[in-house]
Amino acid sequence: MADEQCIFCMIAQNKIQSAKIVDNESCTAFLDIKPATKGHIQIIPKMHSPILLELDEPVKQKIFSIALSIGQVLVKKLGATGVSYLINEGAGAGQRVAHCSINVIPRYENDGVSIGWPDKQMNQEEFEAYCSEIAAQFNSQDASKQTAKPETKIEKKAAEKEEKPDEAIKIKPRIPKYW
């Protein structure tokens, strides 16, 4: 479903002109109007959603597949030396339009684009505490999902359909030694 106030929904519905690269039943890819570099492309789902997590799995797979394919083409056809795939979700991450998107930014030598952050320096003790804190948050989140019991028939059906957490996401309390 589209949001009539959302500029990305309007692009997906052809209500606003854009330079589309891909346009299929689930998503649209178009040249960014204020590109970071030559060939900067945005991929958006046609369904309005502020974050990728809310999309159906087949739509997410299609968007990521198209993003990766476009990245390969940009390297081959435009002579890019690399590709940055950028997803900003939420105002704190720099999301400007409340509609999820993947920015595919071809990278060139000395292109002036800086996607980075200051390195945080930690000693071994601080790093171990940091790892334990993050692992505890992930593991407590998984535990709360497993212990919560559905109360209504609708909640029970939803719980039956809910996928089990991906084992790759669980953080093991194994702490590497870097120092």
| Of the residues 86, 107, 128, the one at which a domain ends | 107
- Residue located via tokens 């589209």: 2
Residue 82 lies inside a defined structural domain of this protein:
yes
Whole-angstrom distance, CA of residue 49 vs CA of residue 3: 9
Task: Give mean pLDDT, residues 86-92.
Answer: 93
Rounded to two decimals, the pTM is 0.74
Whole-angstrom distance, CA of residue 29 vs CA of residue 67: 9
Q: Any bridge partners for residue 102, and if so which?
A: 43
If one counts the domains in the chain, the total is 2
> Residue 71's CB: how many other CB atoms inside 10 A?
22
Name the band, by pLDDT with cuts 50, 70 and 90, for residue 3: confident
| Of the residues 72, 107, 142, the one at which a domain ends | 107
- Which range marks the domain in which residue 103 is found? 7-107
> Residue 26's CB: how many other CB atoms inside 10 A?
17
Name the band, by pLDDT with cuts 50, 70 and 90, for residue 38: very high
